[in-house]
A and B are shown apart, each in its own frame.
Chain A
Amino acid sequence: MRRSNPRVATLAKRMTPDKVAIRIVGVSHQFGEATEARHVRALRETSLEIARGELLCLIGPSGCGKSTLLNILGGLIAPTAGAVEVFGKRVRGPMPHDIAFVFQENALFPWNTVFENVNLGMVFQGVPRAEREARAKRAIEAVGLQDFPQHYPAQLSGGMRQRAALARALSLETGILLMDEPFGALDEQTRMILGEDLSVLLSRTEKTIVFVTHSLGEATFLADRVAVFSARPGTIKKIVKVDEPHPRRPDFVTSAKFTSIRNELYALLHDEIRKTVAESSVSAAGAHPP
């Protein structure tokens, strides 16, 4: 299903195949049949290439399809049209050796300790027993939880739980990390700290990260590129580049470059958010979206 898309063509010129981590070609998705009450067009045709070692943020109004796209990238949903390639391989289902997830909600198993949670991820992936303990320790240290391996999730704060979820994903040593609003449920200060730590981590590894967020500031601080989505059914409206090396210094946030990028994102998003709000009040009143 290859349509000639100018954006893909442009990117293809600049990125050689081995530099591309994820290639998204003409992906769109709808839930349910057109005749059913539950039908929703979640994502309009989208194409994009993501480079190795890049941190790409997906930002957009509620329901624009960014989480759907993330799930499609990770093989959790099969798109109704289009295809995704990861490291040259077609995505047909979860690829635990190449892709690891960090979710917003608490996806840690509450009956296991931090260490057991990290260990279990590797059990699922198929890591031999001899390697697991060392890798778990490294991952837990990398996120700063080395004093809490025997704690249960219920005993940890929200920020620490997400660190543990990140440790679990890191221990899988995948090339790609998909993060769906991982800091969404946390307070502002914790988000800041975790964002800075994530930036430091990224600078040390060659991981490709796709990061979904609602926060303009977070996107600007973390991303190499920000893909701004339009309202539902969404597609990528524009890609904004953030040319600043990792690890990002905390005072980047107060710089003029940061402010101008953030303002640009705000301008792009504002109309889309308004559109989404208007549409949801119309649907609430009984009409169907066009």
Chain B
Amino acid sequence: MMTSHTMQRPWVARAGVVVLLLFFWEVAARGWLDPMFVSPPSRVVASLPTLFDTRGLPAALRVTFWELAVAFALSVAIGLAIGLAVGLQPFARKSFMPIILLLYGTPQVTILPLFVLYFGIGPASKIAFGVSHGFFPIVMTVVAGVQNIKPILLTSARSMGARRGQILRYVIFPHMIPSFFAGMRLAMTGVLLGVLLAELYVSTAGIGHFTTLFTQNFDPTRLLGLISVLAAMAIALNEIVRRAELHFSRWHSE
């Protein structure tokens, strides 16, 4: 029977659950919930064009996207540099990794006002806060990737006459790549958190400005619309990094 066969595929049921939830939301929002606070999904979707017509919003979205991209690129660059510097030199690793781990464990959200104090209320503080969340996973995974290389691979290269630079380029680097990409996936999560947190805290040109605006004006329709667009952006960015990770780790069967 067609129904039971398709019901057997989990993704169908998953989609069904989502549809069911949207349906309840729709009915509840239209029926008895206060329209000042909640808006049904149909209206949210329908008003997306007006959302994008809001003055300054598309620019704000672009600014936010740009902040995310720059923060991510900087996280990767800084994380890679620090990770290699610390990972390749055993003494540096033993000395500095505990400090790095300690910093990583502190609740960074408490120093968000400090970032704004130092970098201003413009994009710089958002990017800086994003970088401070994003570069840690890269350092961790690069150090791990350099650390857990099998000694036999290094011995083998040495026995064939490889010089230090060649070992770095042909053995250590390729070995580190799957870890590095896993780190990038975590870095993207961190950057999203950092940039969005900072945006919501204070924003003049970014989307934080509009979330505040819609909240204060009791405009749940456009607020939900904006949140959905941002969530979609986050999902897309995460997915891109995840696919890159899969692609570059094809040989990694461990």
Contacts and interface: CB of A to CB of B under 8 A. Distances in A.
A74 B158 CA distance: 11
A168 B170 CA distance: 15
A125 B152 contact: no
A76 interface: yes
A101 B160 CA distance: 8
Interface string A173-199: 000000000000000000000000000
Contact of B159 (A76, A112, A120, A123): A76
B160 A111 contact: no
Give the interface centre of B150, B250, B251 by most chain A CB atoms within 10 Å: B251
A112 B174 contact: yes
Give the interface centre of B157, B159, B162, B253 by most chain A CB atoms within 10 Å: B159
A125 B161 contact: yes
Nearest to A71: B155
B48 interface: no
A110 B153 CA distance: 10
A284 B97 CA distance: 36
A107 interface: yes
Given A110-B252, A110-B253, A96 B160 contact: yes
A106 B150 CA distance: 10
Interface residues of A, number: 27
- Interface SS majority for chain A: loop
A111 B161 contact: no
A150 to B, nearest CB: 12
Contact of B174 (A97, A106, A109, A168): A109
B177 interface: yes
B159 A111 contact: no
Given A97-B161, A154-B251, A107 B152 contact: yes
Interface residues of B, number: 21
Contacts of A125: 160-161
Interface in A119-160: 120-121, 123-126, 152, 154
Given A105-B152, A110-B252, A172 B174 contact: no
Given A74-B159, A111-B175, A123 B166 contact: yes
Interface in A45-101: 74-76, 94, 96-97, 99-101
A111 B152 contact: no
Given A109-B171, A120-B170, A126 B161 contact: yes
B156 interface: yes
Interface string B137-177: 00000000000001011011111111000100011001101
A103 interface: yes
A172 B162 CA distance: 13
Contacts of A123: 166, 170
A124 B153 contact: no
Contacts of A110: 251-253
A100 B160 contact: yes
Contact of B177 (A97, A111, A126): A111
Given A123-B170, A124-B160, A125-B160, A111 B155 contact: no
Contact of B160 (A112, A154, A172): A172
17 contacts: A74-B159, A76-B159, A99-B159, A100-B160, A101-B156, A103-B155, A103-B156, A105-B150, A107-B155, A109-B153, A109-B170, A109-B175, A110-B252, A111-B252, A112-B174, A152-B251, A168-B160
Interface of B: 150, 152-153, 155-162, 166, 170-171, 174-175, 177, 250-253
Interface of A: 74-76, 94, 96-97, 99-101, 103, 105-107, 109-112, 120-121, 123-126, 152, 154, 168, 172
Given A111-B177, A126-B161, 11 more contacts: A76-B158, A94-B158, A94-B161, A99-B159, A103-B156, A109-B153, A109-B171, A112-B174, A124-B161, A125-B161, A154-B251
Q: Which 7 A-B pairs have the closest CB atoms?
A: A96-B161, A107-B156, A154-B253, A124-B162, A124-B160, A111-B174, A101-B159
